[in-house]
């Protein structure tokens, strides 16, 4: 949620839609599909920020193709020699090490995978940014950029990182693994099914994607909603139509998350911080099933207005169809025509078998 706080603080934010980078990362997708997917993600990001009431006038989207176009422009007076110096400065070992945590690891990696960290480091210069923000899985690329950009005569940038939210299976969340994540256009039925199957071991707070999602997404959004309601009340504005925090009726004023339970099971529990919830889960005071039910309800509520925006936007639907074509759209499945092949002489079902007594005697 750091991007949200930066935008609320009126910081100029540039989001790089890394289409070329995705193509270079072991060919995750052809360039034409990757191009549509960048537009699809821009729709998603803008819609989410709009629903959170976050100002976007300081937000800019840039594609990797634009930056690559600048890098490959042979007539540019600065870029040609810099490009050659880059190739003559970076070692194969350092490039491979920098991309180890973000690129797909395969038995026979392509040369394109070595370009990935180089391009991401150069993005800082050609986007003219003061700092780069990413997950902790980007730390090796950030270290790589801090080492090599000054050698090319560029300014060393600052780097901000946030912790990675575990996937629903307990490991790293991955876009290539649908079971590890919740799609922002997911239906309530799909959300319920995925959360039900998610890893959420009782007392485990380390590799717990369900619990981590509460701390990384649900509670921060709940806090935003409380702030908005408080600001409206101070201005004596109506609050009935504002989105409510993820608490049940009767929750204390400082609560930002509630787990609803029937009274016979102890009644609802309320939490004023993620730390409070985390501590109770570690002490096994919160059952995984109760946590999953609360998270399922909160996520479904979060995604409902996003889906509503999607359903009334034909351009967004068209982009999604082009970005993620179904198997039937990609390849027309043709039924094989049955061709009759006659059996060899003396073979087949209808071949008359000779009587037992007519069998030829061995000579």
Q: Is 182 exposed, middle or buried (0-12, 13-18, 19+ CB in 10 A)?
A: buried
Phi/psi at 258 (nearest 5 deg)?
Answer: -130, 145
CA distance 348 to 86: 71
The Cα angle at residue 66 between residues 62 and 72, in degrees rounded to 5: 150
What residues does 61 pair with on adjacent strands?
15
Q: Is 61 exposed, middle or buried (0-12, 13-18, 19+ CB in 10 A)?
A: middle
Q: Give pLDDT, residue 42.
A: 93
Q: What is the 3-state secondary structure (H, E, C) of 69-121?
A: HHHCCCCCCCHHHHHHHHHHHCCHHHHHHHCCCCCCCCCCCCCHHHHHHHHHH
pTM summary value: 0.79
Q: Give pLDDT, residue 31.
A: 72
The Cα angle at residue 45 between residues 12 and 60, in degrees rounded to 5: 30
Count CA within 13 A, CB hemisphere, residue 52: 24
What residues does 114 pair with on adjacent strands?
none
Q: Give pLDDT, residue 111.
A: 75
* C-beta of residue 158 within 8 angstroms of C-beta of residue 148: no
Q: Give pLDDT, residue 107.
A: 65
Question: Mean pLDDT per segment of 10 residues, for the chain of length 363 residues?
Answer: 85 88 65 84 94 92 72 52 74 85 65 80 88 91 93 92 86 75 92 94 92 94 94 91 92 94 89 96 95 96 95 94 67 47 63 54 47
Of how many residues is the chain composed? 363
Q: Give pLDDT, residue 252.
A: 94
Q: Give pLDDT, residue 209.
A: 92
* C-beta of residue 35 within 8 angstroms of C-beta of residue 19: yes
- Closest by Cα among 150, 67, 70, 138 to 99: 138
Q: Is 293 exposed, middle or buried (0-12, 13-18, 19+ CB in 10 A)?
A: middle
Q: What is the full DSSP assignment across 300-332?
A: HHHHHHHHHHHHT-HHHHHHHHHHS--HHHHS-
Residue 250 neighbours by CB under 8 Å, 6+ apart: 268
CB-CB neighbours of 36 under 10 Å? 19
CA distance 322 to 37: 8
């Amino acid at each position: 949620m750091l991007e949200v706080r930066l935008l609320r603080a009126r910081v100029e934010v540039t989001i790089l839609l890394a289409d070329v980078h995705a193509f270079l990362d072991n060919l995750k997708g052809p360039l034409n599909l990757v191009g549509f997917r960048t537009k699809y993600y821009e729709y998603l990001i803008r819609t989410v920020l709009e629903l959170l009431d976050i100002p976007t006038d300081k937000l800019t989207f840039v594609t990797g193709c634009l930056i690559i176009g600048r890098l490959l422009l042979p007539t540019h007076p600065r870029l040609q020699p810099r490009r050659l110096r880059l190739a003559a400065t970076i070692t194969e070992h350092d490039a491979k090490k920098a991309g180890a945590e973000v690129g797909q690891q395969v038995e026979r990696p392509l040369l394109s995978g070595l370009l990935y960290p180089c391009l991401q480091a150069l993005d800082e210069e050609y986007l003219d940014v003061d700092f780069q923000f990413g997950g902790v899985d980007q730390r090796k690329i950030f270290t790589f950029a801090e080492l090599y950009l000054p050698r090319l005569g560029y300014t060393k940038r600052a780097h901000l990182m946030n912790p990675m939210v575990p996937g629903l299976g307990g490991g790293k969340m991955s876009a290539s693994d649908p079971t590890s994540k919740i799609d922002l256009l997911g239906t309530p039925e799909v959300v319920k099914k995925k959360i039900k199957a998610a890893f959420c071991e009782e007392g485990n707070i380390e590799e717990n994607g369900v619990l981590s999602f509460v701390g990384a997404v649900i509670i921060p959004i709940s806090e935003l909603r409380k702030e908005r309601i408080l600001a409206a009340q101070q201005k004596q504005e109506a609050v009935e139509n504002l989105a409510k925090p993820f608490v049940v009726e009767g929750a204390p004023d400082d609560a930002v998350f509630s787990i609803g339970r029937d009274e016979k099971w102890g009644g609802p529990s309320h939490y004023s911080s993620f730390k409070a919830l985390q501590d109770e889960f570690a002490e096994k005071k919160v059952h995984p099933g109760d946590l999953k039910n609360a998270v399922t309800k909160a996520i479904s509520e979060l995604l409902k207005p996003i889906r509503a925006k999607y359903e009334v936007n034909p351009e967004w639907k068209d982009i999604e169809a082009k970005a993620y074509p179904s198997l039937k759209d990609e390849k027309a499945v043709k039924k094989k025509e049955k061709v009759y092949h006659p059996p060899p002489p003396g073979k087949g079902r209808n071949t008359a078998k000779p009587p037992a007594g007519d069998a030829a005697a061995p000579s």
